Amino acid sequence: MHTAPPVDFSESIGCDPPRWISNNNYYRCLFRRKFEIPPLKVYTLKVITDFAAAHSLRGYAGDCRRLHGHNWKVEVEITTTVLDQCGMGVDFKVIKKATQSIVRELDHHYLNEIPPFDKVNPTAENIAAYLFQGISRILGDGQIQVSAVTLWETERACVRYQENNTP
């Protein structure tokens, strides 16, 4: 003989209405708890700068193996979940200063002669990673982090670098 499931008291304990599972004469209630997760507010700030530099790609069979230059465009994205007393995640001046301090090392140079590119091929991918890591060392404090660096080699070709622990 099957007995009816007990009375629904889900509203009083903050659950969705229960689902009753019948197994022979036994009823089991599967409650689905209602959880309200507050939305995580994420702010992404972006600064854009540029620099001019020459390079040549070692071991590459195409034209880029020869010395040539680019007017590189750099986009730096910073992510934060906290605003200061002024309502800012981080002052754009701070991001620009950190970015410029790294970009200045490359501007108007032959990249193949500058560490680490004297040993590492100065591809757009490697340059983007270098910029990301350098800017992260300056700015990264836990609440503010570099989430991505996009490096434009031309107006139609770019690489975006980010690390797994960034959103």
How many CB atoms are located within 10 Å of the residue 68 CB?
Answer: 11
pLDDT of residue 162: 96
Q: Are 54 and 83 in a shared domain?
A: yes
In b/e form, how buried is each residue of 108-138, taking b as 16+ CB within 10 angstroms?
ebebbeeeebeeebbbbebbbbbbbebbbee
**CATH at 147:** 3.30.479.10
Q: How many domains does the chain have?
A: 2
In sequence order, the β-bridge partners of residue 149 are: 76, 161
Residues 56, 29 share a domain: no
- Asked if 67 and 142 sit in the same domain, the reply is yes
Length of the chain: 167
- Active-site residues, by number, are 64, 108, 153
7-22 pLDDT, tens digit each: 554 454 455 555 555 5
Burial class (CB in 10 A: 0-12, 13-18, 19+), 100: middle
Q: pLDDT tens for residues 78-122?
A: 998 889 999 999 999 999 999 999 999 999 999 999 999 999 999
- Residues 80, 112: one domain? yes
Q: 67 and 22 in one domain?
A: no
CB 140 within 8 A of CB 149: no
Residues 145 and 85 in one domain: yes
Q: What domain range is 1 assigned to?
A: 1-36
Asked whether residue 71 carries a pLDDT value surpassing 50, the answer given is yes
